[in-house]
């Protein structure tokens, strides 16, 4: 069964509404809004989980050659926004 998760349900509902608002502005043509919301939700949660465990910083340093003074989470978020913006 499913457990109750009011905060998560509220957050995901807000994300679904944001995706619907974006669709009304011409974004995500031909895409299922629920699938778009799920993918954005999963990607952001994955980045946050990796950051909390220290894995994101390790990969940024060892494989992406990102300087330590750069915030890789902010960089990743900015890239996500740019990618989403290109879906119009």
Do the domain assignments include residue 1? no
* Model confidence, pTM: 0.83
pLDDT, position 32: 97
Which sign, positive or negative, has the C-alpha torsion 36, 41, 46, 51? positive
User: How many domains does the chain divide into?
Assistant: 1
Do the domain assignments include residue 28? yes
- Domain extent, residue 68, equals 6-85
| 57/51 Cα distance (integer angstroms) | 7
Residue 56 pLDDT greater than 80, yes or no: yes
Identify the H or E element spanning 74.
Answer: helix 72-85
Do the domain assignments include residue 36? yes
pLDDT average, residue stretch 73-82: 91
Do the domain assignments include residue 62? yes
């Amino acid at each position: 069964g499913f457990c109750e998760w009011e905060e998560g349900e509220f957050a995901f509902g807000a994300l679904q509404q944001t995706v619907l608002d974006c669709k009304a502005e011409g974004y995500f043509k031909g895409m299922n809004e629920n699938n778009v919301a799920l993918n954005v939700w999963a990607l952001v949660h994955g980045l946050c989980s990796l950051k909390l465990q220290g894995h994101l910083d390790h990969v940024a340093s060892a494989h992406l050659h990102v300087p330590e003074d750069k915030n890789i989470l902010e960089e990743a978020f900015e890239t996500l926004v740019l990618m989403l913006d290109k879906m119009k």
